[in-house]
Amino acid sequence: MPHYDLAILGTGSGNTIIRSEMKDWKIAVVEPWTFGGTCLNRGCIPSKMFVHAADVAHTAETGHLYDVQSNVIDVHWEAIRDRVFGRIDPIAESGRSFRANAENVDVYDQPAVFVGDHKIKSGDHEFTADRIVISVGSTPTMIDIPGIDGLDIDTSDTIMRLEKKPESLIIIGGGAIATEMGHIFNAYGTKVSMVQRSNRLLSREDVEVGTLITKLFHERGIDMHCGVNTTSIRKENGLFHLELDDGQTVTGERVLMVVGRTPNTLNMHCELTGVELDQFGKVKVNDYMEASAPNIWALGDCANRDLDLKHVANAHARTIANNLIHPDDKQPVWLPNTPRSTFSQPEVSSVGITEQEANEQGLDVIVHTQKYGNAAYGWALEDTTSFVKVVVDRSTRKLLGAHIIGPQASLLLQILVMGMTFDLTVDDIARKQIWPHPALSEVIEQCLLEV
């Protein structure tokens, strides 16, 4: 039976753990799906390529706001899809080839399950390893709706590879992925309906932010059904029919379900190697990303800490790599002020706590909202809705949270992330640097000066 110094289960961020210091290690890599993980193949990267094309289409449709006569003549779905995956698929294949051809690495292509203490089975192969990193990621969650069995429901894994653009699409869910897909398909000319339990999109974001983007989606012509549940689903004559608990029926050519993700650890029999899972099936880890069993680590979507985001998984992987190479100088994972972004139209980006969370915690805070339209570049954008919102500790003058909805939100937010990370007061951020005029970043300066 083969024995390895290190086994890495999953090739998303886990693939980055292998370093030059490990050139003399014998390493097993297990990847039953496409090399590169969700972000590269089914998530962040392809979706943003689709988003940019949607942004271009949306800009063309709104040219009249700037006295420019423009409109979208057509959106060539197949060409967009093939351009996106024509770039991505070779990267995934070359990643697998690179690892498979490395002298000290063996690649296994069947799902990993534990069959004993530090003993792994992949298909017909069994092996042991001194050190194991569990980085198997997650898959889209499917909720059990009466009538759903046997229906061809799409998920984020499949929706971007459709053979043709649907004329109509029902999206079940209202989180970041659902919101991005709503923007994409609406901009491409698909009739979009969105069905969700919450009374607004992006319910984990600040209430003002979620309320505004829901309103803007409705104004774009998206058929919004908020605060409802789907009681049944059926397919007749090529169309899906969703019955909602408010008595309405929603009809569409395809259904996309994006209601969360489930860690891929649930069927791995982690208990056979002493690894404990939490109630959601995620591996319990400490600050060093160590699992409950010795010499086993976990990261990303299948680890029970931090946000399920690619940049978080990358930070996990850097920590684990360091601690594998330097076991006598272990470092805890460092994730201060993790930003999160939704690349819809408009963009949404945030860090820290919301106004609602500050109130729930009984904190003494200053909350201020600054409209894009108050800045000169906001005039150029003819922007009447976008805003920056900050939550500031009244006594320390430090930022506790920031929330932006509008163009370039993810870029603008980083100014505030840096201020929080380097423990600056809002006064220092606003006054101890020169802000370029009339850049859009002036809205951040104005917001902090108002505080």
CA–CA gap between residue 154 and residue 177 (Å, rounded): 13
Inter-CA distances, 178 with 149, 172, 352, Å: 22, 8, 22
CA–CA gap between residue 188 and residue 87 (Å, rounded): 21
CA–CA gap between residue 174 and residue 222 (Å, rounded): 13
Percent helix, strand, coil in the chain, to 5, is 35, 25, 40
Structure token digits, residue 91: 């990267």
CA–CA gap between residue 237 and residue 418 (Å, rounded): 54
- Ramachandran bin of 147, using left for φ above 0, alpha for ψ from -120 to 50, beta for the remaining angles: left
For the chain, the C-alpha Rg in angstroms (whole number) is: 24
- Cα 287-291-295 angle, rounded to 5 deg: 105
Among residues 3, 76, 326, 437, which one is catalytic?
437
Contact 202, 333 (CB under 8 A): no
Structure token digits, residue 302: 């299948």
Residue with tokens 């029926």: 249
Residue 437 annotated as catalytic: yes
CA–CA gap between residue 292 and residue 120 (Å, rounded): 17
What stretch of H or E contains 393?
Answer: strand 387-393
Structure token digits, residue 387: 């805003």
Pairing of strands 27-30, 3-9: parallel
Positions marked catalytic: 437
